[in-house]
Amino acid sequence: MGLDDIHDNCGVALVNIPDGHPEEGNVVKYLYKLLLNMQGRGQLSAGITTYNPKRTQLIDTYKDLGMVNEVFKTSFPLLSARIFKRYAANKGIGHVRYATCGKDDKSFAQPFERHHGRKWKWFSFGFNGNIANFSELREKLLKKSDYHLVQNVDTEIIMHYLSRELGKHSRAPDLVEVFRNLADVFDGSWSLTYLNARGEMVAARDPSGIRPLVYGEKDGITFVASESNALSNVGVKTIKTVPPGCMLYINGKKPRICRFARAKPAHCMFEWVYFASVSSVMEEKSVYLVRERLGKELAKQETLKLDKDTLVIPVPDSAKPAGDAYAYALGLPSVEGLIRNRYVGRTFIEGRGRFEKVKNKFAVLREVVKDKRIIIVDDSVVRGTTTKNIVKYLKEEGEAKEVHVRVSCPPIIAPCFYGIDMSTVSELFARKFSDRLGMNALPQETLRTMAKDIGADSLRYQTVSGLVKAIGLPKNDLCLACVTGKYPTPWGKKLHRLAEKRRGKGSVDRTSRDTSC
């Protein structure tokens, strides 16, 4: 995938250890493991909130900027041990964050905790998604007297609306009712873990189920995470999906699934294409096998004349299953002509331009690609700038004879308002060449023009029908908005109309106030 084309989502986690369990007090250990296994969903910050009725601070939150190991100080055993000891408990939630809004500031890290003297009004939560009607909800809040937003992000909006919903009651309310009312207010995507000072826990998923959320049990301990690989890596064998419009509710008894809203499934196709870990399973569909099928579908379209000098190079790392399957289907070798530098993290000296960033992130093997016809397989092209520089890198540094680009995702032709960092039409590569929304495939003449723009010898995309077939879910159960222009929620449709209108006026501003995570 293009290095800086789009950014990862956030990841949420929840752990509940029963009283008297042999692992009593070890919730931080498990939260740490879950977050570490979801690091790919967020590298900006990490945090946890734990509940311990034996502490004065019944629920206590620890969060900071950095990768999970940096936040938990694992390179400094004494400091790390202090963190684990201070936040020792049986119940806890966790979060890893990548933001398309807010600042690189600790105050934007999650979970968000809201203090109150009454225990059922004192809560903390972590959130993965994007509230599409943020601007409307913000305006409603600020019209009321004495409301003020500090971070001005949708996580803060959720906190205020949760507080308002709890404040309607004179005694501790039924949390199913609370989330039922919130589902009528929020438009967009939200997978959310919640913990209050009574020890009640919730893992809730929006009615469309846009972002993933799974749960499971091992030796009586309940685990929740954004992805199944995190649960597998702590030993959970049977992993279940929190259905759209449902919540896993924990309150001292056996955890139970409760429905709070009617389901209208619209699972984000991009989770399978790029975001999710290749080792995860979502909606009972293996991410690895979906990517493999995407490669096979892409190979069915191939018209390029192939010979012994033709090599396939998957762009590391998320495109490798698709690239390998594409190559196998065509009887071509799949080689590592681009080697990813896995030790390059966030840095202030990446270089001034995209080409320098590509060279810092990848090494090209000239011995492999020189004088060869190279077919690079990527999972997606959003803004196109990184793809252009990879092509340039292979030709100039690798001395490849030809470079052809194959993309396992259809052209991205519309913005996302559900948590992916692409909310303007003008920034999308494919829209510079075609205004025809919802097509199954682009005309050959358009593809030739696009290939010339990125310096490639040819360009071919996955079809929408091929994408749906590879995922293996009904088309109506998927959010395909970014490749069809058809949005699953009212505010998605509204923001899309506004985005197209602004593009018509030449605006490059984001369509809505940045709200993701």
**3-state SS record for 331-366:** CCCECCCEEECCCCCCCCCCCCCHHHHHHHHEEECH
Are 332 and 375 contacting, i.e. CB atoms less than 8 angstroms apart? yes
Q: Is 61 exposed, middle or buried (0-12, 13-18, 19+ CB in 10 A)?
A: buried
Give residue 261's identity as a one-letter amino acid code. Answer: A
In the prediction, which pLDDT does 510 show? 56
In a domain, 301, yes or no: yes
Are 115 and 185 part of one and the same domain? yes
In a domain, 480, yes or no: yes
d(CA 234, CA 227) in angstroms, rounded, equals: 12
DSSP state for residue 275 in the 8-state scheme: I
Place of tokens 């734990």: 50
Q: Is 435 exposed, middle or buried (0-12, 13-18, 19+ CB in 10 A)?
A: exposed
Are 211 and 246 part of one and the same domain? yes
Instruction: Give the three-state DSSP class for 187.
Output: coil
Q: What is the torsional sign of CA 176, 190, 32, 118? A: negative
Are 221 and 301 part of one and the same domain? no
In a domain, 168, yes or no: yes
Instruction: Give the three-state DSSP class for 446.
Output: helix
Are 75 and 159 part of one and the same domain? yes
Are 390 and 299 part of one and the same domain? yes
Are 198 and 329 part of one and the same domain? no
In the prediction, which pLDDT does 426 show? 84
In the prediction, which pLDDT does 466 show? 97
Q: Tell me the CA end-to-end span of the chain in Å, nearest whole number.
A: 21
Are 297 and 257 part of one and the same domain? no
Below-50 pLDDT ranges, the chain: 1-5, 8, 101-102, 346-351, 513-517
Are 331 and 479 part of one and the same domain? yes
Are 52 and 112 part of one and the same domain? yes
Give residue 209's identity as a one-letter amino acid code. Answer: G
In a domain, 3, yes or no: no
CATH assignment of the domain containing 125:
3.60.20.10
In the prediction, which pLDDT does 102 show? 47
Are 417 and 484 part of one and the same domain? yes
In a domain, 270, yes or no: no
Mark which of 249, 265, 281 sits at the end of a domain.
265
Mark which of 265, 298, 318 sits at the end of a domain.
265
In the prediction, which pLDDT does 399 show? 96
d(CA 64, CA 66) in angstroms, rounded, equals: 6
pLDDT digits (tens, 9 = 90+) for 60-90: 999 999 999 999 999 999 999 999 999 999 9
**What distances in angstroms separate CA 86 from CA 49, 355, 477, one per listed residue?**
11, 45, 44
Domain that holds residue 459: 289-504
- DSSP lists the bridge partners of residue 250 as 201
Token pair belonging to 514: 């940045």
**What distances in angstroms separate CA 42 from CA 12, 128, 158, 420, one per listed residue?**
10, 10, 20, 12
Are 237 and 375 part of one and the same domain? no
Are 489 and 187 contacting, i.e. CB atoms less than 8 angstroms apart? yes
pLDDT digits (tens, 9 = 90+) for 312-324: 999 988 899 999 9
- Number of structural domains, the chain? 2
In a domain, 173, yes or no: yes
d(CA 455, CA 495) in angstroms, rounded, equals: 33
In the prediction, which pLDDT does 94 show? 98
In a domain, 116, yes or no: yes
Place of tokens 């559900």: 418
In the prediction, which pLDDT does 513 show? 45
Asked if 10 is an active-site residue, the reply is yes
Secondary structure tally for the chain: helices H, strands E:
17, 23
In a domain, 279, yes or no: no
In the prediction, which pLDDT does 217 show? 97
CATH assignment of the domain containing 322:
3.40.50.2020
Are 187 and 305 part of one and the same domain? no
In the prediction, which pLDDT does 8 show? 47
* Catalytic residue (one of 10, 416, 479, 482): 10
d(CA 408, CA 379) in angstroms, rounded, equals: 5
